[in-house]
């Protein structure tokens, strides 16, 4: 922007952003029912490598939340217990409970259902059965006590369903708060001039057609390569789940919260930088080739969506 030219009006942008996107709630759906004991058990299980067949990985391995990590491992795809790579990029677990469904193809309806998947997936944690998971946990005295505290109505009974419910309870605590939230709440100085310009472009370019709501995504499924095809068509997307041809190459629109902290990008993790992802999405989805300056502007805004607790990458 040229010197002397007035930048975007923060109040007008705030009003527009609140109307189009809205504010992220402080709690995820279902969190009001989670007790401290249930959350404690879930956290233990989230970090528990004995939930993998050879004690080599945990939920936290692919979705690290400790040491100021953003809930994603920053690999294109992740190694499973046997060293085999998965097909899709591991998305961040932060704010996941706000999403309309779980996994890139939406095959799990909620966090509980999602938690059950990787433990038994032969490419991921590779446990042979639910019964083996229950047997392994039941042999550990600490878990015997934790399950009793977390589920006082059924003392002594460890089940796979309860383990998943506990992991989901812990994941429901992983809610972020960033400078964009501060801006929406009325703090003009929360965003820099460059970030305000990026927000203005984000709201006017057409990005909100897919990146909707307070998550800026996570609520719909869209074809990747809507106008211009994506470079890879090996993954059929949601079609694998629904067998509906209209779902070919459709994936859940990712939330843009913490997006600057979670490279690489797209369902296959093949786009290395946020600037590349922004330019590619504008062209593929909107038929809007954008300039380097516009890409930098959008990236500046997207960086404001990083929870300040996390280290910058």
Please give the positions annotated as active site: 124
Q: Are 172 and 97 in contact (CB under 8 A)?
A: yes
Distance separating alpha carbons of residues 186 and 244, to the nearest angstrom: 44
Per DSSP, the residues of 16-40 read HHHHHT-PPPSS-TTGGG--HHHHH
The label of the residue with tokens 């472009």 reads 201
Cα–Cα distances (Å) from 35 to 47, 62, 94, 223, in that order, read 19, 26, 19, 39
Distance separating alpha carbons of residues 11 and 251, to the nearest angstrom: 34
Q: Are 124 and 118 in contact (CB under 8 A)?
A: yes
Distance separating alpha carbons of residues 285 and 224, to the nearest angstrom: 7
Distance separating alpha carbons of residues 211 and 213, to the nearest angstrom: 7
Q: Are 38 and 162 in contact (CB under 8 A)?
A: no
């Amino acid at each position: 922007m040229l010197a002397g030219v007035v930048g975007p009006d923060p109040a007008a942008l705030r009003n527009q952003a609140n109307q189009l996107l809205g504010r992220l709630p402080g709690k995820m759906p279902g969190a009001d029912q989670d007790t401290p004991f249930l959350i404690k058990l879930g956290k233990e299980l989230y970090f528990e490598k004995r939930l993998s067949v050879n004690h080599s990985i945990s939920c936290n391995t692919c979705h690290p939340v400790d040491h100021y990590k953003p809930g994603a491992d920053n690999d294109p795809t992740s190694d499973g217990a046997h060293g085999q790579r998965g097909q899709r990029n591991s998305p961040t677990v932060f704010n996941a409970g706000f999403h309309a469904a779980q996994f890139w193809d939406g095959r799990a309806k909620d966090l509980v259902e999602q938690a059950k998947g990787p433990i038994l997936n032969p490419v991921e944690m590779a446990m042979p059965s639910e019964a083996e998971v229950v047997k392994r946990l039941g042999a550990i005295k600490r878990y015997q006590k934790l399950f009793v505290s977390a589920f006082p109505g059924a003392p002594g009974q460890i089940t796979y369903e309860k383990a998943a419910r506990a992991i989901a309870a812990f994941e429901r605590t992983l809610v972020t708060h960033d400078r964009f939230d501060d801006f929406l709440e009325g703090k003009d100085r929360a965003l820099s001039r460059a970030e305000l310009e990026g927000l203005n472009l984000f709201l006017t370019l057409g990005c909100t057609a897919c990146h909707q709501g307070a998550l800026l995504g996570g609520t719909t499924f869209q074809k990747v390569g809507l106008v211009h095809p994506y470079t890879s068509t090996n993954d059929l997307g949601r079609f694998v789940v629904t067998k509906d041809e209209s779902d070919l190459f459709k994936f859940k629109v990712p939330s843009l919260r913490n997006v600057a902290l979670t490279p690489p990008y797209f369902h296959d993790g093949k786009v290395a930088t946020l600037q590349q992802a922004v330019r590619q999405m504008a062209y593929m989805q909107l038929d809007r080739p954008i300039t380097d300056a516009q890409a930098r502007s959008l990236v500046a805004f997207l960086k404001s969506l990083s929870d300040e607790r996390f280290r910058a990458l």
